[in-house]
Amino acid sequence: MLIKAEKLKAIFAPRSVAVVGATARPQSLGRAVFANLLYAGYGGCAYPVNPGVKSVLGVRAYGSILDIPDDVDLAVIVVPAAAVCDTLEEAGRKGCRGSIVISAGFKEMGGEGVELECRLQEVARRHGIAVVGPNCFGVINTDPAVSLNATFSRSFPAAGRIAFVSQSGALGVAALEHAAQEKIGFSKFISIGNKADINENHVLAALADDEATDVILLYLEDLEDPKEFIDLARKVSEKKPILAVKSGRTKEGAKAAASHTGALAGSDETYDLLFTQCGVLRVETLEELFRLGMAFTHRPLPRGKRLAIVTNAGGPGIMATDAAVRHGLELARLDPATEARMRPHMSPAASLGNPVDLVGDADEARYREALAAVLGDDGVDEVIVIVVPQMNTDLGAMSRVIADAAGGTDKPLFAVYMATGDIERPLRLLDEAGILHYRFPEDAARALGAMAHYVRWRKRPHAGLRLFDDVRPDVVREILAGAAREGRKFLPEPEAHAVLGAYGLPVSRSRFVRDWSEAAAAAREIGFPVVLKIVSPDIVHKVDVGGVRLGLNSEEEVRSAYAELTAQVAAAQPDARIWGVFVQEMVGRGKETILGMKRDPHFGPLLMFGLGGIYVEVFRDVIFRLAPIRELDARNMIRGIRGAKLLKGFRGEPPSDMDAIADALLRLSQLVTDFAEIEEMDINPLIVLPEGHGARVVDARILIRK
Amino acid sequence: MLIKAEKLKAIFAPRSVAVVGATARPQSLGRAVFANLLYAGYGGCAYPVNPGVKSVLGVRAYGSILDIPDDVDLAVIVVPAAAVCDTLEEAGRKGCRGSIVISAGFKEMGGEGVELECRLQEVARRHGIAVVGPNCFGVINTDPAVSLNATFSRSFPAAGRIAFVSQSGALGVAALEHAAQEKIGFSKFISIGNKADINENHVLAALADDEATDVILLYLEDLEDPKEFIDLARKVSEKKPILAVKSGRTKEGAKAAASHTGALAGSDETYDLLFTQCGVLRVETLEELFRLGMAFTHRPLPRGKRLAIVTNAGGPGIMATDAAVRHGLELARLDPATEARMRPHMSPAASLGNPVDLVGDADEARYREALAAVLGDDGVDEVIVIVVPQMNTDLGAMSRVIADAAGGTDKPLFAVYMATGDIERPLRLLDEAGILHYRFPEDAARALGAMAHYVRWRKRPHAGLRLFDDVRPDVVREILAGAAREGRKFLPEPEAHAVLGAYGLPVSRSRFVRDWSEAAAAAREIGFPVVLKIVSPDIVHKVDVGGVRLGLNSEEEVRSAYAELTAQVAAAQPDARIWGVFVQEMVGRGKETILGMKRDPHFGPLLMFGLGGIYVEVFRDVIFRLAPIRELDARNMIRGIRGAKLLKGFRGEPPSDMDAIADALLRLSQLVTDFAEIEEMDINPLIVLPEGHGARVVDARILIRK
């Protein structure tokens, strides 16, 4: 992982590049790539490789990469798919550290292409070359000392603080063109294509400490290794924001994604969880990705979410307010001193609350006073200044005033010029001063809202992953091994309770018995009332076969219930192997909750929490997290269900023991992380008693991998 | 209403216009307005009115509107606020039918401004002049025969099929400039300002049968008459789509709105209901408003929601799919014949399912075949064609192919060119062919989704407003009058039940009694078991004072319960006037639901439906509609709650009598529409019995206006 990230750095900043397949033939990829490399002012040595020609675009060409009389760091390969592996073989022998395979015709084609990609991986591994692609659009580094354009893009982006990683080559093309038009600058661009070798995780690791990059934008269709991504992204997000478009959001989209890259995509809700848990901001559209990406290059980031709006028109002020609240900001309460400071300079019609409406005839001098006042207010974290040009608006002067105000503060000050006519010069003045500007107030509010959200995420309590040391993995291991030996997929209740008990989950008092006299003795020991449940490796739904008796109050009742129970089950399912009966304490009144786990083949264990019964069945009032979870995740799961009120003590009831739920969730998380054999489990119900009295696992089902 | 709408038409197409306050002074509003009128090529006669000058911009000026030797249809007023009323007086005497008051300084200023606006209304009423404004930006009509620009805009929009109505002048300015840049054409534009006279309803009525307008865009900060708006918009939406931005969405935004226009805004959720009920599509941002507005000018509208996507790159295809599903479209299942028709023309790598991915090297000939095939497929309602320019893409030729394809079909065909470089000419070709194009696939999908939604709304079953004729308004009137006479705000239960019973709601069997022997007799008559409830005009919460006894099974029990009940209430609330006791049948087991009504001062009665108890209190699982509702509304309310499953017969329970709920909702709607004195009511619970057995009102509270 780290080795590849290191090699990737060499790909981003090679001292010498060979373009294999370079040619001067018009309209060819080989020409486009070599021309881009040459004309972008690359700082190292560029060598065209093409056995048929003497030179390409004026540069001496070589018949093979092996003929180049110099070290070659990076081999860019633009030859037909069938020739790629041999070329990469030569690059390996030449000692290249990295390669970008632009050629298509691999996994994305299916059939032979898949085999070809396997061969390519084998060659890369053997020579220790880091390979970007195949089927990719290439790599760009705008660092003036490097100035690498190893793509077939028609435009070379301006230098900037954004790194953009695209799984789709076509979207990469479109994105670069869009960015050029919107004057968005990049630090680095990489199209990872089929991800035969280098994937998004390597790129993230390489960009984490890239000093030229302040924000990372991802366009993804799937994740190569979701678990690694979570760990990595969580760490990288602490340093710099990550924004992502993950397409294939809908089932239909995912189907299209699968046929496109041959990737097996996980379910989309799971991606939402994953991004949330590691602080990645997921957005819906490319336009939004770039707009927000630009905003996130603003430094420093805002301290909080208290927004002030300065405008010369009421309507846009209202729209900004609506959008701000929608995106999680709040309107700052201005200090009375702030208003007093503005008042002498303002028209009597001006409304100096927040939004500060300077009214239509406000000139730049009034804006100057208003901006100084709100930026100086300690209760303000960020400012949107809106200008609707009117008769006496001088937008050039306005830009200078805004630039001055921004120069004297470290709070974000975003501008909205609601005009599109002859405003190039005023906008250029803002650009030069590094001030972000928007055409509509909603966009500015959206951007600041996302920034404030990120800052809040970064400030969250950082609970490390807490591991319980009072657990007995040896006990669990033995039970699972036993079941595996017998080829069972389902753990009967005594085993399930033993597994949960071994990890400290609050199982109810119980004993597994084999006849009625043992049952009576167990009941006496446990204390009345008790419950009897049939135990059989063949019966998953006990109630359906009459395999449960509740509320038995004496040894007498236990004995006769035992006889009835076994007889009834034998009648209902004659071929079931009956192991015996589970005698269990009858848990007092509490709230029924459900804890569950399902292992996703792609993402690992998904934990679920909810209220039991109709709340889960009708209202689907449940919440998911990917394991392993932290203390804060567990608390957020409990708080996050809609019915959380019912646990807090509704209508004079005592509050439920939420600590006990959190403890159970964390122990469950540790259990399913430790044992990959556990495929699926339901603790239904976990009865939660009033505060201080804990909770009890009443019924548990565990399915294991055969 | 209709008279004003007629007069408004005169404002949009006047034969002659006087601009009072016209001047040649640079940088003045009076110059801007008169210059716009003159230079837009107005088809009628324009007269400047200014007592100080001989001519304005070369046109003979008059000292007063009364001096103009000709009829004047429209007076545009740009004089200081203090002089506006006298000017309007003269316009009235001159016989003008309409006036546009651009001058500010009225209601929006508070204080004297409010009085000035009242005077202005009085003058307008007296002379029967329709007045647009004051404090507005003016009116535009792009009809070449009229070519009216009565605004101070810096740009005159192109002619088009969109009418735009803006409550905010400043946003109007910004909108016109944005539209000019995006090449969006308008049929009419009107800034309604303070709405002293002409409001959005008059404008809607006028635009409903405006042949130049296909789609109406509204920017609103409040509604002048919400009930009238609902009726009107419902009718207009049948003819042409209405899209609206209603700002002041959040509480903070509404506060800003209130301080801006002095308007009293209703709660925002209520606006959502209102727009939904009358088919108006509410959007969040101006950018979205115009983007969707343009799409809606496409004729004919799509027949359904089955989308086909044709692309030369997988990523954008996936993004389009995601966005389409998000916005309510579905991917069409292509006929096998469609694929067979395409196959011979395609590269073997092409993936001909939907999205149809022609892969990167597709030229315009392949697009031609693919478009012909999918547009010819009967299972396709609309098509998005995506082009990511590659080496051998000729975008000009591509535009011609798309134009040809669009020419041969009546299905919407929207184009996405994911490129921004040198594509002006190809885009102009699309523009000329009337083909809508977008930079990102999400925008095309969003637009088609909104169009399909509108078409679906228009196709909904059109139940008229059904009125029950078995109701007894006379009974209700008498009860309400009695309560009013006695100055009571709250109807005790016998009265509440009588009111509901008079409108045919299924009240439970009951009798109001005054002593224990009457109670026993009533119980016998009703049938056991029964319930006793205290009846007092001073007690709203009966249970809290021990005023309810349930499940009484004999005359014996009724007698003793009567004595206990009255004694306990007297002890708990000694000063309460006790009228007697309500003897009521004990309703069998059913589902508890709640029906309610709260009258909004701005919108009228809001009806509520939900499941009772914890579902309403914890899960807030309720749904609202503005009364009066139709049959379909009632059904949608019942289906719309999250817990609807519980009514359909969950876990082997019999389904509940949903017809009875719908009937109760419709009768409630009629009751609260007929009696504006009813302020608030709770039917909690309405117990719903199994299908065929109806429902019973068990407890009802009615508050009336004092």
Q: How confident is the model over A180-194, as pLDDT tens digits? A: 888 889 999 999 999
Confidence band, pLDDT 50/70/90 cuts, at residue A252: low
> Which tokens go with B570?
């007297």
Interface of A with B in 647-676 (CB under 8 A): 650-651
Q: Which residues contact A301 (CB under 8 A, 6 or more apart)?
A: A412, A451, A454, A455
Domains A2-296 and A591-704 share a fold: no
CATH classification code of B306-458: 3.40.50.261
Closest residue in chain B to residue A220, using alpha carbons only = B315
Question: CA-CA distance, B220 to B197, in Å (whole number)?
Answer: 16
Cβ distance of B326 and A178 shorter than 8 Å: no
Using a CB–CB cutoff of 8 Å, tell me whether A55 touches chain B: no
Chain B interface disruption, residue of A318, A354, A423, A618, most B CBs within 10 A: A318
Contacts of B645 in chain A (CB under 8 A): 618
- Count interface pairs A-B at CB distance under 8 A: 254
Restricting to B residues 166-195, those with a Cβ less than 8 Å away from any Cβ of A are 166-171, 173-174, 177-178, 180-181
pLDDT at A265: 33
Q: What is the pLDDT of residue A279?
A: 92
| Chain A residues with CB-CB distance to B391 below 8 A | 27-29, 32, 152
A308: enclosing H helix or E strand? strand A306-311
pLDDT at B263: 32
Tally Cβ neighbours within 10 Å of residue A492.
25
Question: Cβ separation of A325 and B250 shorter than 8 Å?
Answer: yes
Residues of A in contact with B325 (CB under 8 A): 249-253
Looking at residue A507, what DSSP letter applies? B
Question: Coil, strand, or helix at residue A309?
Answer: strand
Q: What is the pLDDT of residue B421?
A: 66
Mean pLDDT score, A571-598: 91
By C-alpha distance, the chain B residue nearest A137 is B390
State which residue of chain A sits closest to B329, comparing Cα positions: A252
Closest CA to A522 of A5, B245, A531, B445: A531
**Is the CB of B614 inside 8 Å of chain A's CB atoms?**
yes
Question: Could you tell me which CATH class the domain A591-704 is placed in?
Answer: alpha beta
Please give the pLDDT value at position B499.
Answer: 97
Provide the pLDDT for residue A651. 78
Which residue among B28, B314, B349 sits closest to A109, beta carbon to beta carbon? B349
- Measuring CA to CA, which residue among B175, B161, B418 is closest to residue B294? B161
Do A331 and A321 touch, CB atoms closer than 8 A? yes
Judge: B418–A29 Cβ closer than 8 Å, yes or no: no
CA-nearest residue to B438 within chain A is A287
Residues of A in contact with B321 (CB under 8 A): 250, 252-253, 256
B318 to A260: CB separation less than 8 angstroms, yes or no: yes
| Residue whose tokens read 């805009």 | B153
Q: Which of residues 581-610 of B touch A (CB under 8 A)?
A: none
DSSP 3-state of B696: strand
Please tell me if residue A285 touches chain B, with a CB cutoff of 8 Å.
yes
Measured between CA atoms, the residue of chain B closest to residue A311 is B170
Q: What percent of chain A has pLDDT over 70?
A: 96
Q: Does B285 touch chain A (CB under 8 A)?
A: yes
Q: Outline where DSSP puts E strands in B3-95.
A: 16-20, 45-49, 55-56, 59-60, 74-77
Write the pLDDT tens digit of every residue in A504-554: 999 999 999 999 899 999 999 999 999 999 999 888 788 888 899 999 999
**B151 CB contacts (<8 Å, ≥6 apart)?**
B33, B36, B102, B137, B138, B139, B140, B172, B176, B189, B191
A35 vs B695: CA distance, rounded Å: 80
Name the phi and psi angles at A190, rounded to 5. Answer: -145, 130
Strand partners, B417: B387
- The answer to whether A436 and A295 have CB atoms below 8 angstroms apart is yes
Whether chain A has a CB inside 8 Å of the CB on B116: the answer is: no
Chain B closest CA to A35's CA: distance in Å?
Answer: 14
Q: In this complex, is the C-beta atom of B287 within 8 Å of any C-beta atom belonging to chain A?
A: yes
> Inter-axis angle of helices A200-208 and A226-239, to 10 degrees?
20
- State whether A174 and B642 contact (CB < 8 Å): no
CB-CB neighbors (< 8 A) of B419 in chain A = 173-174, 177
Chain A 213-272, residues with CB within 8 Å of chain B CB atoms: 219, 221, 245, 247-253, 256-257, 259-261
- Tell me the CATH number for domain A2-296: 3.40.50.261
Q: Which chain A residue lies closest to B645 (C-alpha atoms)?
A: A618
Q: Which one of B180, B221, B315 has the shortest CB-CB distance to A168? A: B315
Q: A32–B314: do the CB atoms touch at under 8 Å?
A: no
Q: Pick from A549, A554, A555: which is nearest to A569 by CA?
A: A549
All structural domains of chain A with their residue ranges: 2-296, 306-458, 509-586, 591-704
Q: What is the DSSP string of B113-168?
A: HHHHHHHHHHHHHHHT-EEE-SS--EEEE--TTT-EEEE--S-PPPEEEEEEEES-
pTM recorded for the entire structure:
0.82
**Both structure tokens of A308:** 């002030």
**A331 interfaces chain B, CB cutoff of 8 Å:** yes
| Residue B207 at interface with chain A, using a CB cutoff of 8 Å | no
CA distance linking residue A39 with residue A19, whole number of Å: 14
CA distance A642 to chain B (A): 6
Residue A256 has pLDDT above 70, yes or no: no
**CB-CB under 8 Å, B285 with A440:** yes
- Write down the pLDDT at residue B315: 85
Residues of chain B under the 50 pLDDT cut = 257-266
- How far apart CA A271 and CA A246 sit, in angstroms, is 8
Query: Which residue is listed with tokens 């067979």?
Result: B340
Distance CA A392, CA A394 (A): 6
CB contact under 8 A, A313 and B170: yes
Instruction: Test A351 with B109 for CB contact under 8 angstroms.
Output: no
Report the pLDDT averaged over residues A234-253: 84
d(CA A191, CA A136): 6
Residue of chain A nearest B616, judged by CA positions: A643
CB contact under 8 A, A247 and B180: no
The CATH superfamily assigned to B509-586 is ATP-grasp fold, A domain (3.30.1490.20)
Q: How far is CA A173 from CA A94, A142, A304, B555, in A?
A: 31, 16, 36, 87
C-beta atoms of A168 and B313 within 8 A: yes
Residues of A in contact with B421 (CB under 8 A): 154-155, 177, 180
